[in-house]
Structure 1
Amino acid sequence: MIKIEQLNGVTLAYLGDAVYEVYIREHLLETGTTKVNDLQKMAKHFVSAKAQASLINLMVEQDVLSEDELRIYKNGRNAKKYTKAKNTDVVTYHMSTGFEALMGYLDITHNKTRLEELIKWCIQKVEAGETDAK
Structure 2
Amino acid sequence: MFEFLEKISIDEKDVKMMNPLLWAYIGDSIYEIYVRSYIISKGGKTSFDLHRESIKYVKASAQSDILEVIMDKLSEEEQNIIRRGRNTKTYHIPKNAKVIDYKRATAFEALIGYLYLLKRYDRLDEIMSFIFEGVK
Question: Do the two structures share a fold, i.e. TM-score over 0.5?
Answer: yes
Q: 1:120 deviation in Å?
A: 1.1
Does 2:68 match 1:22? no
SS at match of 1:85: coil
Does 2:66 match 1:55? yes
- Asked if 2 retains the 8 angstrom alpha-carbon contact of 1:46 and 1:123, the reply is no
Q: 1:80 deviation in Å?
A: 1.0
> Aligned equivalents of 2:95 and 2:37: distance in 1?
25
> Aligned equivalents of 1:90 and 1:110: distance in 2?
30
Quick one: which of 94, 101, 104 aligns to 1:95?
A: 104
- The gaps in structure 1 that reach 5 residues or longer are 128-134
- The gaps in structure 2 that reach 5 residues or longer are 1-8
Q: 1:6 deviation in Å?
A: 3.7
> Aligned equivalents of 1:33 and 1:21: distance in 2?
16
Count of aligned positions: 125
More helix by share: 2
Please identify the structure whose Cα radius of gyration is greater: 2
Matched with 2:3 is: none
- Asked if 1 retains the 8 angstrom alpha-carbon contact of 2:23 and 2:111, the reply is yes
Q: Percent identity between the aligned chains?
A: 35
Distance 1:113 1:86, change over 3 A: farther
Q: 1:32 deviation in Å?
A: 1.5
Letter in 2 for 1:87: N
Matched with 2:135 is: 126
Matched with 2:47 is: 36
TM-score (norm 2): 0.87
Alignment of 1:72-111 (within 5 A): 72-111=81-120
Matched with 1:130 is: none
Deviations 1:76-109 (A, max 9, x none): 0110112223411100000000000000001000
> Aligned equivalents of 2:80 and 2:17: distance in 1?
16
RMSD: 1.1
Runs of 4+ in structure 1 off by over 3 angstroms are: none
